[in-house]
Structure 1
Amino acid sequence: METWEDEAVVLSARLHGEGHAIATVFTPTQGVRRGLVYGGAGRRGRATWQSGNVLAARWQARLADQLGRLEGEALCAASAAALGDPLALAVVASACAVAEAGLPEAEPHPRAYAALVALFGRLDAGEELVADYVRWEIVLLAELGYGLDLSACALTGAREGLAFVSPRTGRAVTAAAAGPWRERLLPLPAFLVDAAAPSSPGDLAAGLRLTGHFLARDVFGAAHRPPPPARERLVAAIEARAAARPTEAERAAP
């Protein structure tokens, strides 16, 4: 008999049969795993197996490569904490969908897990939650071997004035060094260089486009699948906010 117990984030739970569910969870030591949850789609089970909830999980099967049975006891109800806040709900849905689609099964990624739990602990942060979400995607990319280098300019080595990222190498570039290649580079929002920097909706949209480029190319593209619809909905929501609240520079432009 194969068994493991671990803390886990619920990524999804889909109806299976009458009142049961097949749940996908993400744990620090087991990675992304699936299991059959008896009663998981029932009245009491649905509250526990909501995406974003943190559980004490137990998985058991006769053989390691079987679907197995999954049980869980709620430790932190992120889904309930996000109720009433459409932006927080969108962040939870996007993070869970990206983790489920992007992480290989049964491969531990403890840094990405810890950052995800920390993200879900800040669901009351308003728009700053989206900045934290972008930072989590950067951690996820690094865990998967596609880390971005935002520490210094790829051309000059300068650590000040970083304003762009090469879409090919993922390395930062200063505004001064960008020159005629400026239009081909991805804007680097200040909040990814300085954690204390404020982030407008336009900055958040730029951050999502930045990480989205590398996720689409290196993670989802490598698996021949599109980005999850939940992430696209989050991007659309932030871009709508950016359009409704232009920056001072945009308002001053002729």
Structure 2
Amino acid sequence: MVLTTRKHGENDVILEAMTLDHGRHLGLVRGGRSRRHRPVLQPGNELTLTWKARLSDHLGQFHIEPETLRAGDLMTSSLGLAALQHLAFLLRLLPERHAYPRLFNALTVVLDHLEASDAAAALLVRFELEVLRDLGIGLDLSSCAATGSNEDLAYVSPKSARAVCREAGTPYHDRLLPLPGFLLEGQRQAGSELTWADVTQGFDLTSFFLNRYLQEHGTRDGGTRSQVLSALEKRYRTEFPWNF
């Protein structure tokens, strides 16, 4: 999956791709700025890549073959453009050349569902949760941290990253993070749309833990999440005005 490219010399590019078996991987594409390759090397497109290098720690070269070309559709919408940038940013938080098959598969699902606003919002939040898991900050939303119950989970503890049921959490609700129901298995009814409150609660939840991680590592998100939220809000106001 193409994440980004950058110019290298007059005719070549360095391709940054997300791969199934080797995670995020960079390589040189000879003639990548040619008329033949330029339309293929666009973010969001799926390629078959063959990588060759003299030594394993070298940049190496990619031989590319197009598979699924979705970039044209993604780049016609503000959400598509913003999501591509944000997903690439999230993947760069993880070590290069480490396999993350769940994230690779999740990336494909997200990109294939960006036209459905409520599905896109839910999938983007879940993708952030998956990134947090691979960063070692996995949220446990299976049961209440205080009682062990899996009923009426309504909050997440910012300290333990575990769910808290409504009864146990209500006295401390101002210190806990709201847990939107769509992140719990079986909570969302088929055919029902997420409200904008659901979406913002989901992103607020993942943002808390991602921002803490970024602060600890001295980096920022570059505004990619705010761009995604702005594009989603515009879509929601148009398609689901009753949900505001």
- TM-score range (shorter-chain normalised) is 0.7 to 0.9
Q: What amino acid is the match of 1:223?
A: H
Q: Distance in 2 between matches of 1:140 and 1:195?
A: 22
Amino acid at match of 1:74: P
**1:246 Cα deviation from its structure 2 partner:** 8.1
Q: TM-score by structure 2 length?
A: 0.87
1:52 is aligned with what amino acid?
G
> Which residue in the other structure is 1:139 paired with?
130
The answer as to 2:44 corresponding to 1:58 is no
Q: 1:187 to 1:160 in 2, by over 3 A?
A: same
Q: Deviations over 1:190-213 (max 9, x none)?
A: 111124363112211221121122
Aligned positions of 1:63-102 closer than 5 A? 63-99=55-91, 101-102=92-93
Query: Are residues 216 and 42 of structure 1, via their aligned partners in 2, closer, same or farther at CA, if it must alter by over 3 Å?
Result: farther
The 3 A distance-change label for structure 1 pair 195 and 141 is farther
CA distance in 1, matches of 2:120, 2:194: 10
Query: How many Å separate the matches in 2 of 1:210 and 1:187?
Result: 7
Deviations 1:113-156 (A, max 9, x none): 11111222223322321111111221222233221111111112
CA distance in 2, matches of 1:103, 1:39: 29
Q: Deviations over 1:50-78 (max 9, x none)?
A: 11211101111111111111222221123
| TM-score normalized by the length of structure 1 | 0.84
Residue 24 (structure 1) aligns with: 16
Which residue does the alignment assign to 1:216?
A: 211
What is residue 176 of structure 2 aligned with on the other side? 185
Within 2, Cα distance between the matches of 1:247 and 1:126? 14
Q: Which residue of 2 aligns with 1:11?
A: 3
The letter for the 2-side match of 1:235 is: L
Is 1:225 equivalent to 2:219 in the alignment? Answer: yes
> 2-side partners of 1:155 and 1:246: how far apart?
38
> Which residue of structure 2 lines up, in the alignment, with residue 207 of structure 1?
202
Q: Which residue of 1 aligns with 2:101?
A: 110
| Unmatched 5+ stretches in structure 2 | none
How many residues get paired? 239
Q: Choose 238-247 or 86-95, whichever is displaced more.
A: 238-247
- Do the aligned residues in 2 keep the contact of 1:202 with 1:246 (CA within 8 Å)? no
Match of residue 3 from structure 1: none
1:126 and 1:238 map into 2 onto residues whose CA distance is 7
Whole-angstrom CA distance in 2 between matches of 1:228 and 1:46 = 26
| Separation in 2, partners of 1:229, 1:39 | 32
Please state whether the residue corresponding to 1:72 is helix, strand or coil: strand
Farther-moved stretch of structure 1 (121-130 vs 65-74): 121-130
* Alpha-carbon distance in 2 for matches of 1:92, 1:104: 19
Does the C-alpha gap of structure 1 residues 128 and 14 become closer, same or farther in structure 2, counting only changes over 3 Å? Answer: same
The aligned runs of 1:232-251 (5 Å cut-off) are 232-238=226-232
Percent identity between the two aligned chains? 37
Shift of 1:239: 5.5
| Runs of 5+ consecutive residues of structure 1 not aligned to the other structure | 1-8
Alignment partners' CA distance in 1, 2:58 and 2:43: 23
Partner residue in 1 for 2:30? 38
Instruction: Letter of the 1:124 partner, please give it.
Output: E
Matched AA of 1:230: T
Distance 1:44 1:212, change over 3 A: farther
Distance (Å, rounded) in 2 between the aligned partners of 1:144 and 1:73? 31
